[in-house]
């Protein structure tokens, strides 16, 4: 009978998701993670985790089709491991969408990735999570509470994920805890202008950007400790939310 703790991290081949996978593997978890287009990065990450002596499964899934993706991911995880202790909903679509430029297609894709797929994954994996007294951790964003007009649809759908977190915390109690992590700038997009970075950091009380490892450390805490924490939003933003 599989007894090692198992975590599923969505959207994890690169950036913050990758750091979360590595941190949990270092802590003794076996892992499943999803990716879409980053095949090379996914293979590399799987190799790193196997080098730690941990089991890992990389699952290619398109979360723009929530019913198919959630079914395939849940079936793979349960077929491979037979249990699930931690679900980290990290997959994200980060792209500009102003009032004048936003399209319904773009909004529906973001809604599918940020809201529908996490909801359906939780529904399918609920029995396993209840059985393990598991943890769900949703990656929202500072913009869910302080939206940028240039990223309107992203902000709105991340706000919906934040609200889903609170609802799930009540629906899944007392067996499962559900919390959100709301990062600020922890890893800049490659094409983000230097001047815009400086302007943003001038409004951060700690005066610097965070790192993916900062977020991964909070995920690890919620996954392994924090058994009396649920329905909370932990802001990992250097104080930007209070400035």
Per-residue tokens: 165: 């977190």
Q: DSSP letters of 101-151?
A: T--HHHHHHHHIIIIIHHHHHHHHHHHHHHHTT-EEEEE--GGGTS--TTB
Per-residue tokens: 182: 């709301």
Beta strand pairing status for 6-9 and 56-60?
A: unpaired
DSSP-derived letter for residue 27 is T
- Choosing from 154, 192, 200, 228, the catalytic residue is 154
Spacing of C-alpha 199 from chain mean position? 26
Whether 200 is a known active-site residue: answer no
Q: What is the set of active-site residues?
A: 154
């Amino acid at each position: 009978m599989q007894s090692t703790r198992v975590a599923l991290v969505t959207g994890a081949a690169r950036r913050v998701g990758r750091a979360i996978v590595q941190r949990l593997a270092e802590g003794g978890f076996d892992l499943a993670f999803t990716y879409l287009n980053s095949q090379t990065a996914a293979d590399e990450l799987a190799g790193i985790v196997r080098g730690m002596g941990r089991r890992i499964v990389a699952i290619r899934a398109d979360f723009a089709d929530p019913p198919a993706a959630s079914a395939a991911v849940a079936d793979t995880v349960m077929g491979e491991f037979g249990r699930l202790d931690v679900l980290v909903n990290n997959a994200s679509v980060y792209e500009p969408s102003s009032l004048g430029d936003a399209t319904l297609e773009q909004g529906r894709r973001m809604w599918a990735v940020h809201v529908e797929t996490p909801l359906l994954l939780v529904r399918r994996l609920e029995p396993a999570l209840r059985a393990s007294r598991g943890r769900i951790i949703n990656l929202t964003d500072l913009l869910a509470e302080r939206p940028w007009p240039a990223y309107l649809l992203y902000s709105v759908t991340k706000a919906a994920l934040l609200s889903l977190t609170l609802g799930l915390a009540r629906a899944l109690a007392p067996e499962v805890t559900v919390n959100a992590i709301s990062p600020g700038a922890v890893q800049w997009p490659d094409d983000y202008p230097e001047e815009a970075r400086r302007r943003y950091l001038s409004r951060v009380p700690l005066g610097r950007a965070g790192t993916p490892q900062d977020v991964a450390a909070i995920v690890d805490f919620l996954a392994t400790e924090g058994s009396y924490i649920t329905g909370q939003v932990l802001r990992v933003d250097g104080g930007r939310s209070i400035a």
